[in-house]
Amino acid sequence: MAQKNLITMTQKELSRYEIIKKLLNKEINGTDAAKQIGVSVRQIRNLKSKVKKYGAKGIIHANRGKPSNRRMSKEKRNRIERIIKKNYSYFGPTFAAEKLDECHGIIVSNEKLRNLMTKWNLWKPKPHKQAKNKHFWRPRKDNFGEMDQFDGSYHVWFGDEESCLLLSVDDATGKITHAKFDTNESVVAVFKFWTEYFEKNGLPISIYLDKFSTYKVNHKNAADNKDMITQFERATNQIGVKLIKANSPQAKGRIERMNKTLQDRLVKELRLANISTMEKANKFFKEYIPKFNAKFSVVPSRRANLHKPLNKTIRAKLPQIFSVQDQRKIMNDYTIRFKTMFYQLNETQPTTVYKKDLVVVERHLNGEIKINLKGHYLNYTELPERPKKEINVKLLALTNRKASQWKPPVDHPWRNQFLWDKIKNNQPALIEK
């Protein structure tokens, strides 16, 4: 008895076969069959001729059960495995595929490499979770320079110790506009960051940041006292840049997502380059930014650049505006106490200085200390130690002229005026002989 060959067909193929049989039996025409299957009339003719010649096998794809023509060779797969395990075992599949193409000239799709790395136990697929609270992306700004998102990200970027990446990203394009590694997110570090930014790009219309203490006074009394502002708020107000403070990390989600991407990619790039110092990391990052922007930036809806250029006046005032400023009072001996230091004002000053005047002590980013009174920088001498005792200097004020030793003669009109006043008031007058 002859053995029959069994044909395995999918539900889709079985459905197609039934439609082609109706076509052969002239129950429907080619146009109706094409509508039912969802292919062109020309393809229906091909299926019809194959079923006539081979029967049900004509519906089944000819390559079923055969190895794919695009199958990766065993030699290539073994080479990829060696390279991945040696150099990129801690990389994600997408980034590893980019490095294979960039550094080794091997092109492989992300999904193929994901399957291979999963098979080699180098990657564990993440389960898809349904978000409980969905956050919708805020539409991007229209123009470059309209708003910069700014944040400081603490992470072990290089070496063994944690450092802070200060990062600004343009909202319209997603480009990194400036970035710098520093030890922390202090006032001085942020001032240095933004002075470099302004020199390079100009003044953006606004800066979007969080409510870290460097940027906002978080004391409970600050809500009632609008004059309580931080050094950074004071500086940006003076230079004409608007600050927008986010109420949650999701509000500035683009830069938060950028930090996550850099914590994955940049850390690996720094490790591959054997970089372990902040100086080398900052130098490497400057060269890395253009390549990163070329891959991840987007085209803005409008092409204008809304950065305001620095004019000569603002450029000259940048060191003063972005200095740490504190108010102090001039003591009776014309000294000023600031932190642990004591400063003695000189007798000659560019403007009139009185006791108890309020001055602004400016700590510039280069470490220089300047004492400002009504727009004038006062002349002073730094004292080596604290004065032993405060004395009340009889000098009423310090001026721009030195005290003269000249005395008017006895018959000078100035003296005669006071002599006449005393005679008029019947008081004894003393006349120098």
What SS3 string covers 293-320? HHHHCCCCCCCCECCECCCHHHHHHHHH
Provide the phi-psi class of 219: left if phi over 0, else alpha when psi is between -120 and 50, else beta.
beta
Question: Is the pLDDT reported for residue 135 higher than 90?
Answer: no
Question: Is the pLDDT reported for residue 399 higher than 60?
Answer: yes
> Residue 216's pLDDT band (boundaries 50, 70, 90)?
low
Measure CA 138 to chain center.
18
> Residue 83's pLDDT band (boundaries 50, 70, 90)?
very high
> Residue 293's pLDDT band (boundaries 50, 70, 90)?
very high
Task: Supply the pLDDT for residue 431.
Answer: 46
> Residue 420's pLDDT band (boundaries 50, 70, 90)?
very low
Q: Whole-number mean pLDDT of the chain?
A: 84
Kind and range of the H or E element at 87? helix 74-87
Q: Is the pTM of this model over 0.75?
A: no
Task: Supply the pLDDT for residue 412.
Answer: 57
pLDDT average, residue stretch 78-107: 91
Sign of the CA dihedral with 318 first, then 324, 328, and 334 last: negative
Task: Supply the pLDDT for residue 403.
Answer: 60
